[in-house]
């Protein structure tokens, strides 16, 4: 132990100097400056004491529970997406009514849910407990089925899942999602881009039509005013002719009496 003011030691050091933790794994000596040591990538143990004569056996086994939780999350996300897509199909008062992208997204997601390799002890999501409930298109996850399918089947599970770039379900899922969500060439990105172009075109057309209607309104207003003036003039002439006719008729009647 030592007490220091930042520049000078204030006490004489006391106590035994610390030493690195030393341990042996499969006969290979290893040192560490911490009591939390890494035996292998992803495998960490905590040293609790010192005993040069005792040995401990560390058993490492794959735990598929994390994959089960991930599949449950996948099912939940899938159902939410399908529900939203269903809300935009078969109706006339929704934004995406009749749009092809609704069917494209639905088919791609269903294809992913139906993924199967056709070989191996684990060959499909259904064999892992992921299956369709009914005609609604919703998925469900059966934990018991998953546990039974993966018991002692670490290699088969690993082969079925694969990796994002190395085949299996994960590569298929990655490619599917990239095809849908890629910020440059994804189906949804392209659909949004197309919709924006259509909106711009529609706005331009609306502006043009509004200008044409405004001009038409002005012309019609002017023509109606001219028509009203002409009608008024014709009415005045009619009244004048009527007065002249009445006066002439009266004159003729006077002449007849005489």
Count of domains observed in the chain = 3
Among 12, 30, 60, which residue terminates a domain?
Answer: 60
- Residue 256 in any domain: the answer is no
pLDDT value, residue 110: 92
* Angle in degrees, CA 25, 28, 32, rounded to 5: 70
Among 60, 90, 106, which residue terminates a domain?
Answer: 60
pLDDT tens digits along 11-44: 766 666 667 777 777 778 877 888 887 777 777 7
- Residue 187 in any domain: the answer is no
- Residue 125 in any domain: the answer is yes
**Token code pair at residue 256:** 């007849």
Q: What would the mean pLDDT of 248-256 be, rounded to a whole number?
A: 74
Looking at the fold, whether 139 and 169 belong to one and the same domain comes out as yes
Is there a contact between 37 and 44 (Cβ–Cβ < 8 Å)? yes
Hey, which of 21-35, 131-145, 238-252 has the most confident mean pLDDT?
131-145
Looking at the fold, whether 7 and 23 belong to one and the same domain comes out as yes
**Token code pair at residue 137:** 């298109």
Measured CA to CA, the distance from residue 28 to residue 238 in angstroms comes to 125
Looking at the fold, whether 175 and 206 belong to one and the same domain comes out as no
pLDDT value, residue 95: 77
pLDDT value, residue 36: 80
- Residue 254 in any domain: the answer is no
Looking at the fold, whether 52 and 71 belong to one and the same domain comes out as no
Looking at the fold, whether 177 and 209 belong to one and the same domain comes out as no
What residue has token string 């050091």?
13
pLDDT value, residue 14: 64
Q: CB-based contacts of 38: which residues, under 8 Å, 6+ apart?
A: 44
- Residue 210 in any domain: the answer is yes
pLDDT tens digits along 73-106: 999 999 999 999 988 877 667 778 778 888 999 9
pLDDT tens digits along 215-234: 999 999 999 999 999 999 99
Looking at the fold, whether 131 and 212 belong to one and the same domain comes out as no
pLDDT value, residue 241: 87
Q: Domain range spanning residue 31?
A: 1-60
Looking at the fold, whether 139 and 120 belong to one and the same domain comes out as yes
């Amino acid at each position: 132990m030592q007490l220091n003011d930042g520049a000078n030691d204030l006490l004489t050091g006391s106590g035994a100097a610390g030493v690195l933790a030393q341990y042996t794994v499969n006969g290979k000596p290893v040192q560490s400056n911490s009591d939390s040591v890494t035996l292998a990538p992803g495998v960490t143990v905590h040293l609790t004491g010192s005993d040069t004569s005792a040995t401990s056996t560390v058993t490492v086994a794959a735990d598929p529970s994390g994959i089960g939780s991930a599949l449950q999350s996948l099912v939940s996300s899938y159902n939410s997406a399908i529900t939203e897509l269903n809300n935009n199909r078969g109706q006339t008062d929704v934004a995406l009514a009749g749009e092809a992208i609704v069917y494209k997204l639905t088919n791609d997601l269903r294809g992913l849910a139906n993924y199967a390799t056709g070989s191996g002890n684990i060959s499909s999501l259904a064999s892992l407990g992921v299956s369709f409930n009914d005609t609604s298109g919703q998925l469900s996850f059966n934990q018991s089925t998953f546990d039974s399918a993966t018991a002692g089947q670490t290699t088969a599970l690993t082969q079925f899942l694969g990796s994002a770039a190395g085949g299996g379900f994960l590569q298929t899922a990655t490619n599917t999602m990239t095809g849908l969500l890629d910020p440059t060439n994804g189906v949804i990105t392209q659909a949004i881009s197309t919709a924006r172009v259509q909106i711009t075109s529609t706005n331009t057309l609306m502006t043009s039509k509004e200008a044409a209607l405004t001009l038409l309104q002005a012309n019609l207003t002017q023509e109606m005013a001219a028509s009203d003036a002409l009608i008024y003039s014709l009415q005045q002439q009619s009244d004048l002719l009527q007065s002249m006719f009445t006066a002439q008729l009266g004159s003729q009647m006077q002449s007849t009496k005489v």
